[in-house]
Structure 1
């Protein structure tokens, strides 16, 4: 009966119920679909230490720990509190006792069943076809991850599976789709560049680091609900967003100094890593350390020019935390998810990225100020107020949407006296309104250069025709 209800919702709503509307699956969804029942027993076995934890599914689809009676909507949160662990994937931890399978397997059955129903439904929508394609691709990726042969794909190509070009509005849905298939990316696709290659893998098994927390930390674990509503809030700019983690140019500690100098000149580098292995950083050689070593010893080698005082940071470190170090040291080496030295970020990289982020803001600011000045010279506030659909006391209150409504009006446009086509001008302004909305979402990917060029060209045009006739 529950399955028939889901199909009815699909047909009535005119869209697929696959992935429950783009959010993460909950235990309550399994309950509604009849895949688990109220009072179903769950078991979490930690075979390595010989401990078992028990729980029950409640009528509201929550997980009640036994003994104790604490209830959680999230399988992960329930498992973390039961075992006193810092992190655990509850979907792959809790086993449905009477079915002898993991909650994760039940979740996969829900997804398979729902997408199959959607595929068989009459008047199938384009959205359903796209969902089926995504489901099939992620299902294959999960099979490869389970076989310890994870699929590797660039972040750019991963986003393209959802039709996205950057990590904007669709990030939460992408994370939900991955999580529903028991997948994550390593490294995190949020914290690296668009061209970084990531693996589609399952969460790591229990480790000593994640295994236990002290009694004083238990309250913190139990306070917040799990991230099933879309993941942790993550709008940071990370070190990895500036480094593709493709490796670093290096020399060995026993290399001749000429080798280091040649590599630096060929690549226009100001420093090189000194590595004895991917995880054994001995330091760095820089133009300053080279000059100092040669000054002290004319036949100096790399060993004489090593600067051991270097900073190493993980790829997912917040960039703002690293800025003081960059200001002092000019560069930091970057660790990938396996703790290998795979990147470098310099002050020049930071300057370039902040220029990429700041340029569209300045262009938009100039554009809005110019439009405001143009309208204030051609109209008074009383004249434009009817176009804005709200009370406007001054031109400083106008938005791009207001400019659009004013300029769409044939009579208002005529008062400007511009020898330009109104419809083409307004269409471009609408494009700019969309660009502005994307810019204001503050995600870590730079605004595409063609969008910045669009802003620049529009500003140049405004400067030519900003004086009223």
Structure 2
């Protein structure tokens, strides 16, 4: 057992309250504190009214007056631990020491679909007479012992999904929302934007200070100067995050650009008995073996993922015990082919379709929502690869999109896929025809009349790139020879735009061409001109 911080004399086993480290002690904050990698501290916490953390090798921290003091003790206690890991633990333990009485605490329950919420009622204590893994404690009043996790909106649940034992819930009105959950069992949610960090260093600092940092996928890649997710961008950002010991959930390549992702520390905490670096599966509904839909950065590809596609996300649903007439009204008035059926917390129970209604009526049933519900309706996660679910889309015409807690988050239809196919394929067909007509134009010239660089490319490769046509068409004599009824400079400017667009779609891009609507239109306009003359 290690001595107290900074080699001060050991404090009493039940320490007094630390000095107030906060500028305004009246401000309530909210924290996530886990009950062990296997939930081994949860029962003790709830039965004895405590929040408990591990770090068995660390002794009494009562004498620590700064985060550096905590760091010194950790270095002595874990001499073989990596420096990044020690920094990670230092921040976590300092949070535990400096949380104020009256702060809110949330304990996600391991392997259960519930969380416990309470308030801190006492200062930090070190109980040397307790078993290993349960000596660092603070008293708490667990006012809600078993709140259904489905009552918490996805963004707040994600912010609780840190790798860390102790993290702060800071953004998107988290404190007010945890208070609402504590008082009424419902999360009012948050619909506003979120200010991104100024740069990668600020992101790293935010994670160090709070444990997690939420931002959009767009803002994340923008920290390194990118606006779209090409294969190269994905690799670079993954490498930059790994170099800073950061991980992101869900992966920024499996969501839409403006969807939120949560960044947290990825430090290996295996130096302790139970402060595991494994992502707490209690928030995803998965066992400790992990989420079967989860992809590590090395596994990520740039194929279509369901979450990257636009589909109906503001979904009308019907309760399983709701009025059947209301289901009919929704389907007729809004021309719905399907209507997801949910329980009181929004978890999927199936779907009502005109086919399921007809089947129920033919068997003499069909008087309640439950009776007309198709319990075998296909569901999918946003992180799944789209083409792995094409057969379900083909057979049913839709997929009900759910999150890790089986809450309905959207509906993807075959019509949505058709729209995306047009959006994705049309630019390639436009570009192909542009290049075909330009090649025809090139055949109007004698090879000796072409610019020397163009002749060399033709001799080496047999064809030239789209950008090379500018060097041909900017020659006054060659342009005059074509006798086209267009302004030369205007035509060349259009060609420059299209060439740049062609370069951007040369490789698969999760966000193109939707992010390049103006370039698509410029390509279409150039093609119209060429169709008149070539």
CA distance in 2, matches of 1:259, 1:297: 20
Q: 1:343, CA displacement in angstroms?
A: 2.6
The reply on whether 1:460 has 2:528 as its aligned counterpart is yes
SS of the aligned residue for 1:397 comes to: coil
> Which of 247, 253, 257 is the equivalent residue of 1:194?
257
**Cα distance in 2, alignment partners of residues 337 and 443 from structure 1:** 27
Match of 2:351?
A: 284
- Separation in 1 of the partners of 2:303 and 2:240? 21
Contact 2:347–2:405 (CA under 8 A) maintained in structure 1: no
1:252 has 2:314 as partner:
no
1:154-205 deviation line (CA, Å, top 9, x unaligned) = 3233334344332124332322333333333322210111232222233583
Q: Does 1:205 align with 2:271?
A: no
How far residue 385 of structure 1 moved from its aligned partner, in angstroms, is 7.2
Aligned CA distance change for structure 1 residues 298 and 325 (closer, same or farther; 3 Å): closer
Contact 2:447/2:455 (CA < 8 Å) preserved in 1?
no
CA gap 1:281/1:95 in 2 versus in 1, 3 angstroms: farther
Residues 1:427 and 2:493 are matched in the alignment: yes
Structure showing the higher helix proportion among its residues: 1
Match of 2:416 in 1: 349
CA RMSD of aligned residues (A): 3.8
> Secondary structure of 2:458's match?
coil
Which of residues 204, 215, 220 is equivalent to 1:139? Answer: 204
Partner secondary structure for residue 392 of structure 1? helix
Question: Which residue pairs with 1:392 in the alignment?
Answer: 458
Unaligned runs of 5+ in 2: 1-35, 41-74, 90-196, 267-275, 291-295
Structure 2 residue aligned with 1:18:
none
Residue 345 and residue 95 in structure 1: after superposition, are their counterparts in 2 closer, same or farther (change >3 A)?
farther
Change (3 A) 1:205 1:391: closer
Report the CA distance between 1:363 and its aligned residue: 0.7
CA contact (8 A) 2:246 2:263 kept: yes
Partner of 2:340: 273
Task: Indicate if the aligned counterparts of 2:88 and 2:208 stay in contact, CA closer than 8 A.
Answer: no
Distance in 1 between the 2:504 and 2:199 partners?
A: 24
Matched residue of 1:411: which SS? helix
Contact 2:252 2:261 in 1 (8 A): yes
Shift of 1:260: 1.5
Note the 1:165-204 alignment, pairs <5 A.
Answer: 165-168=227-230, 169-203=232-266
Instruction: Look up the SS of the partner of 1:443 in the other structure.
Output: coil
8 Å CA contact retained: 1:356, 1:446? no
1:191/1:315 contact within 8 Å kept: yes
Q: 1:460 to 1:165 in 2, by over 3 A?
A: same
Aligned-pair CA distance for 1:290: 2.6
- Deviation sequence 1:412-447 (CA, Å, 0-9, x none): 222112243333322321221110111121122231
Tell me the CA shift for residue 332 of structure 1. 1.6
The structure-2 alpha-carbon separation of the partners of 1:47 and 1:278, relative to structure 1 and needing over 3 Å to count, comes to closer
d(CA) in 2 for partners of 1:47, 1:348:
43
Change (3 A) 1:172 1:341: same
TM-aligned CA distance change 1:152 to 1:279, over 3 Å: same
How far has the Cα of 1:356 moved from its partner? Answer: 1.0
Structure 2 CA distance, aligned partners of 1:95 and 1:142? Answer: 24
Native 8 Å contact 1:271 1:284 kept in 2: yes
Corresponding residue for residue 402 of structure 1: 468
* 1:297-308 equivalences in 2 (<5 Å): 300-308=367-375
Question: Is the aligned partner of 1:367 residue 2:439?
Answer: no
Quote the offset at 1:104 in angstroms. Answer: 4.5
Q: How far off its partner does 1:408 sit?
A: 2.4
Is residue 103 from structure 1 mapped to residue 171 from structure 2 by the alignment? no
**TM-score, normalising length: structure 1:** 0.62
Count of residues paired in the alignment? 337
C-alpha displacement at 1:324, in angstroms? 1.2
Q: 1:242: Cα distance to partner?
A: 1.8
Listed one character per residue, the Cα deviations across residues 47-104 of structure 1 (whole Å, up to 9, x for unaligned) are 9799xxxxxxxxxxxxxxxxxxxxxxxxxxxxxxxxxxxxxxxxxxx99954765434
Distance (Å, rounded) in 1 between the aligned partners of 2:357 and 2:382: 28
How far apart are residue 212 of structure 1 and its match?
Answer: 7.6
Question: Structure 1 pair 300/319, CA: closer, same or farther in 2 (3 Å)?
Answer: same
SS of 1:355's equivalent in the other structure is helix
